[in-house]
Amino acid sequence: MDNSSTQMKAVTIPEFGEAEVLRAATMPIPEPGPGQVAIDVAYAGANFAEVLYRRGVVDVPLPFVPGIEVTGRIRAVGEGVEDLTVGQPVAALTIVGSGGYAEVAVTSSDLVAPLGGFGIGMDVAAALPSNSTTAFLVLDRVARIEPGESVLVHAAAGGVGSQLGQAAHLLGAGRVVGTVGRANKIETAKRFGYDEVILRDQIADAGEFDVVVDMVGGPARRASLDRLAPMGRLVVMGNASGAEDIGVPANELWFTNKSVSGFNLAAFAAAFPKATGQALRRAVAAAATGDLRVQVETLPLEQAVEAHRRIESGTTTGKLVLEVAAL
């Protein structure tokens, strides 16, 4: 967009509700503060996190511009930013303050990964900041996976699930199994590095695992705990089923030598921006070599409502990306 302009196009959440509440709007272009950069957005990833913002599950001020990840070119740099330059192509997490569904987004320079020289299209790279970064952080920093360990991942055909299976093997895992909710997703999930893919209701027959990653919740959470081997770790990072919370008795963990941890990318990125940025750059490098594959489908920003409907339907595989501007 024109750098002399003071206004930009965006998609906003003016009120909480169903997908139809999303509205196109014109608003002032944000400026970067100290340690921040402004990015002319080319593509914005569409994620379940943005659905939660829209539903009001996460308390955000209205009107609110969703969008936790983008690709584009650096528009301006704030005070103290020395390693990024205007015009540089980048992928970035905008998850701390959101704002990716817009022509310009602002984020911490620590949460930015340069794309120059990697040969990755900006549409593909827009699928990396949230899901791929999460996959490395969950397995490496939270589960502390060891070489040869077994891993079970729920929602294996989804955006983050498609990355967790591949990241597990890159980090040295042995057996890696994914679960899906529908039989027509099994073959899709198998293409993302899983040794086996099963229906979620077959988990009782899947054996034991050192690490289980659950973003589904409900009955899958209780079943996941039951499938942990001694010293096994369950990582909770979502509740896509919308089910009531599942309590885990502390005494059960004590007697069985199991542990449960939580991971929230927004909270982690706010507390540990440098570590988050390192994981993002690791993901970009892995995607560039072909070690990490993403499946992307692109919709124009004007179809954000459709993107949200499809995410909520549970029928998507891989990643939906919104085209904001062809840079």
On whether both 46 and 139 belong to a single domain, the answer is: no
Give domain status of residue 1, yes or no.
no
Residue 78 pLDDT: 97
Residue 20 pLDDT: 97
On whether both 247 and 142 belong to a single domain, the answer is: yes
On whether both 205 and 243 belong to a single domain, the answer is: yes
Report the alpha-carbon angle 241-180-219, nearest 5.
40
pTM over 0.75: yes
Give domain status of residue 175, yes or no.
yes
Residue 113 pLDDT: 98
On whether both 219 and 243 belong to a single domain, the answer is: yes
Which range of residues forms the domain containing residue 26? 7-117+295-323
On whether both 138 and 253 belong to a single domain, the answer is: yes
Which of 142, 100, 163, 129 is closest to 291 using CA atoms?
163
Dump pLDDT digits (tens) for 235-261: 999 887 878 888 888 999 999 999 999
Residue 247 pLDDT: 84
Q: State the burial class of residue 92 (Cβ atoms within 10 Å of its Cβ: 0-12, 13-18, 19+).
A: buried
On whether both 17 and 73 belong to a single domain, the answer is: yes
On whether both 136 and 113 belong to a single domain, the answer is: no
Total domains in the chain come to 2
Q: Which residues of the chain have pLDDT under 50?
A: none
What tokens appear for 19 in the block? 């997908």
On whether both 105 and 136 belong to a single domain, the answer is: no
On whether both 35 and 79 belong to a single domain, the answer is: yes
Residue 244: count other Cβ atoms within 10 Å of its Cβ.
9
Give domain status of residue 238, yes or no.
yes
On whether both 152 and 106 belong to a single domain, the answer is: no
Q: Which of 262, 284, 309 is the last residue of a domain?
A: 262
Q: Which of 247, 262, 277 is the last residue of a domain?
A: 262
Give domain status of residue 2, yes or no.
no
On whether both 58 and 136 belong to a single domain, the answer is: no
Give domain status of residue 272, yes or no.
no
On whether both 240 and 136 belong to a single domain, the answer is: yes
Residue 318 pLDDT: 72
Which of 197, 131, 189, 211 is closest to 163 using CA atoms?
131
Residue 327 pLDDT: 56
Residue 223: count other Cβ atoms within 10 Å of its Cβ.
21
